[in-house]
Structure 1
């Protein structure tokens, strides 16, 4: 190994560490070295990172891998389960995992999809929705249950933030909730799908990282596909064009897909307001208005 890793300053300044994880962060360089020793790995490049994990290029026996380290907990266990279940179908391949230490040994991938032009990116994401949408595990949390749970609390969130959001948006979301909650779909669903979570691969052109495994409607995260890159869409016509591209690429029903975008965007808007977000609620309003939510 080539010494202790150096954590990027941009990772050290991530908002998560403002309130938690200081001890884990301080011990991370040593933890990486220890995990490399356990798995017989050699550090082979600089550290990359997301919002709560680092990824270190490593080698073993002439093969290249990525060592991902994040704070141990249910989130790591859920990601390990999802990657093992999809087993490389549209997702990064998992070679080994030590969830108790927050460690995963993964296929080494390339550049992220969020560096590609917006129309190309949303077409890729639509294709991945369909690629991942084989029949899901019966014990996974369903998108139907998520709708039922969220619909019960959205009214309370609205009441707790008087004037922050026009009631017409909430009404539009609740009007479609029963239909979405009554779906009989059983497809596998990635509940955290967006451009930054997709990287270029070799055995498949684009592969999902950090998936969250649900079961139900593949349309579930279409709203996130759009709102995460909404600032790159010049006007309402561009938003609608990107929506149409995803719908075509995933083979979705246009009206039903729109209903999912309405429900999930209003839900995210209310949640964002409740935790003090400022720019994302603006994106939510713009997305809903572009798709004529009423």
Structure 2
């Protein structure tokens, strides 16, 4: 079905800001072509648009649609990057177990038709303790062996790129944390347990309410490696609230211990990956001028 004229297929403001800032001219060109790409796939896959999801993601636009038989779905149009290029493969491998079900895909152009979830209701709508319990149950279902001959990036390779970038962002006030993060990464990679398929960007905001299951994950940046890496963002969820608590360091350590125990993981390995990812993200944020975010992430890393 052709798209209805009343539905504006314009990129949400957040998407336009982040892509232009992160990707420069290539990002602006992709944004300019996005409405036409959406119209093309609405017609090709015979979808009727309802609205563009707001505020949307940082590197993708989601159009809520109806399939030809009336089934609600979500048309996702995303930038193809090293982190996202195998998103379709991960979703196909999970086949709805713990994650949104993939219905159709054109991986070369970053277009997917997905099971529609409750885009306005994530785990962040729950009290923190309950959200962490639900998150643990979801991510446990995602940690499965990858298929033979898979094309997913390894954790060692992905973090080698991050480590190189981190080392290039050294500053006198960061030296001690950067040294610790890089040393931890070397030790963790050298003695890693049996690898599984990882979500890669797992946090409460990437787990939405569903109809066939209460909670399902979205937006994987898949790779293959040890489960502890996948919990690093979950440990720092609701970071502003955590930072405002009277005993933030003790609360952070409790989070690490509780998540490790709930999922039968080594506490020190989880602590190590959480610290590495926080330092890397904090140094990156400082490098692009997001001083508040960067300083908060580095403070969190120091608590670990």
| Same fold per superposition (TM over 0.5) | yes
Q: How many residues align?
A: 287
Shift, 1:263, TM fit:
2.2
**Distance change >3 Å, CA 17–CA 173, structure 1 → 2:** closer
Q: Which position in structure 2 is the counterpart of 1:17? A: 20
Partner SS for 1:135:
coil
Q: Which position in structure 1 is the counterpart of 2:184? A: 176
Distance of 1:265 and 1:77 partners within structure 2: 24
**Distance change >3 Å, CA 143–CA 22, structure 1 → 2:** closer
**Distance change >3 Å, CA 250–CA 195, structure 1 → 2:** same
Q: Which position in structure 2 is the counterpart of 1:141? A: 153
- State the Cα deviation string for residues 206-240 of structure 1 (Å, max 9, x = none): 11111122111111132222335211212333333
Gaps of 5+ in 2: none
Partner SS for 1:44:
strand
Distance of 2:79 and 2:295 partners within structure 1: 31
- State the Cα deviation string for residues 226-270 of structure 1 (Å, max 9, x = none): 335211212333333333332233221212211221222222233
Confirm or deny: 8 A CA contact 1:128 1:250 kept in the other structure.
Answer: no
Q: Which has the higher contact order (CA 8 A, sep 6+)?
A: 1
Confirm or deny: 8 A CA contact 1:4 1:33 kept in the other structure.
Answer: no
Q: Which position in structure 2 is the counterpart of 1:84? A: 92
Shift, 1:277, TM fit:
2.8
Shift, 1:70, TM fit:
2.4
Shift, 1:153, TM fit:
5.5
Residues 118-129 of structure 1 aligned to structure 2 (within 5 Å): 118-129=128-139
What TM-score comes out, normalization by structure 1 length?
A: 0.85
Q: Which position in structure 1 is the counterpart of 2:210? A: 201
Deviates more, 1:232-241 or 1:201-210: 232-241
Partner SS for 2:97:
coil
Distance of 2:53 and 2:274 partners within structure 1: 35
Shift, 1:13, TM fit:
4.7
Partner SS for 1:40:
coil
Q: Which position in structure 1 is the counterpart of 2:7? A: 5
Distance of 2:51 and 2:76 partners within structure 1: 13
- State the Cα deviation string for residues 121-151 of structure 1 (Å, max 9, x = none): 3333333332211123464322233445544
